[in-house]
Amino acid sequence: MSKLKRYFRPGQVYFVTLVTHDRIPVLVDYADVIRASLKNKLTGGRLIAWVIMPDHMHLVLDPRSENFADLIHRFKLSVGANYRKRMGAVRDRLWQSRYWDHIIRDEEDLNRHIDYIHYNPVKHGFAKDPFVWLN
């Protein structure tokens, strides 16, 4: 597999989608692990919005001066390691190898992606009100 080069410029905001390997629906069960990893591994950046769904999650992230790809890499490693530890597994994969990212272009684009994140649980039929999902 070729190594994908990701564009990074300090001050740029990103929308990111992370998907579980084979779309296994386990993320909601490990929401506490994800929250802890967001707090501990994204310390160099600012998390603007996020949602955890059973088989994927979305983030809007301002990495500030830290390399965006490095932040996501550390986050995925942390959640994956804690997932395997809880499962008592050594080799289970949690994440797909890659992730999708989009550079936020302006305030309208930012607001559109934040709205998308908020309404994702409603869109997928997990909640009628986006603000009660996983609260």
| Residue reference for tokens 């996983």 | 134
pLDDT at 87: 82
Query: Degrees (nearest 5) of the Cα angle 48, 59, 68?
Result: 90
- Quick one: which H or E segment has residue 84? helix 68-87
Angstrom distance (rounded) from CA 77 to CA 35: 14
Confidence (pTM): 0.87
pLDDT at 1: 46
What is the block-wise mean pLDDT of the chain (135 residues), using blocks of 10 residues? 61 93 94 89 83 96 85 91 84 89 95 95 91 75
Q: Which domains does the chain have, with CATH numbers?
A: 14-132 (3.30.70.1290)
